Amino acid sequence: MTQTLALLDRNHLKAMTGGDTALAMEVIDIFREQAEVWSRMLDPLAEPSQWADAAHTLKGASLGIGAIRLAASCEKAEKAGRADTPPSRTGAAVLIGDIKDVLGETLEEAAQVLYEFTSPPPRRAS
């Protein structure tokens, strides 16, 4: 049985921010900015060290918000890019494609979390 890793573990985010909603929102915004910058460096045609560095940085940012699935994809690519024999460009494209797919899903989940933080609680029927 395989366990599905969290797109964005809300309990992890809460623990990392001490339950401070404003701080959690700020951390998510920083993650979104970093993701935009570092995802541009995820290019399978670039030197493996470049996309491995980008994957490493994105992995750290992912762990900060609880984006466990994205961190795992980044770690896999990072290790491959730093291997004595890096993957072929096709192999790199697959690894980077996986990161970008999960990144897109993670950014959607982050937007959902921000929406949850800014939405009023549902009213209870009396």
**Domain count within the chain:** 1
CATH value at residue 63: 1.20.120.160
Q: How many CB atoms lie within 10 A of CB 33?
A: 11
Q: For residue range 25-52, what is the model confidence (pLDDT) as tens digits?
A: 999 999 999 999 999 999 999 999 999 9
* Of the candidates 1, 7, 24, 15, the residue with the CA atom closest to the CA atom of residue 72: 7
125 part of a folded domain = no
Task: Tell me, yes or no, if the pTM score tops 0.85.
Answer: yes
Grouping H, G, I as helix, E, B as strand and the rest as coil, residue 118 is: helix
The H helix count followed by the E strand count for the chain is 5, 0
Structural domain that includes position 94: 10-114
Q: For residue range 46-82, what is the model confidence (pLDDT) as tens digits?
A: 999 999 999 999 999 999 999 999 999 999 999 999 9
2 part of a folded domain = no
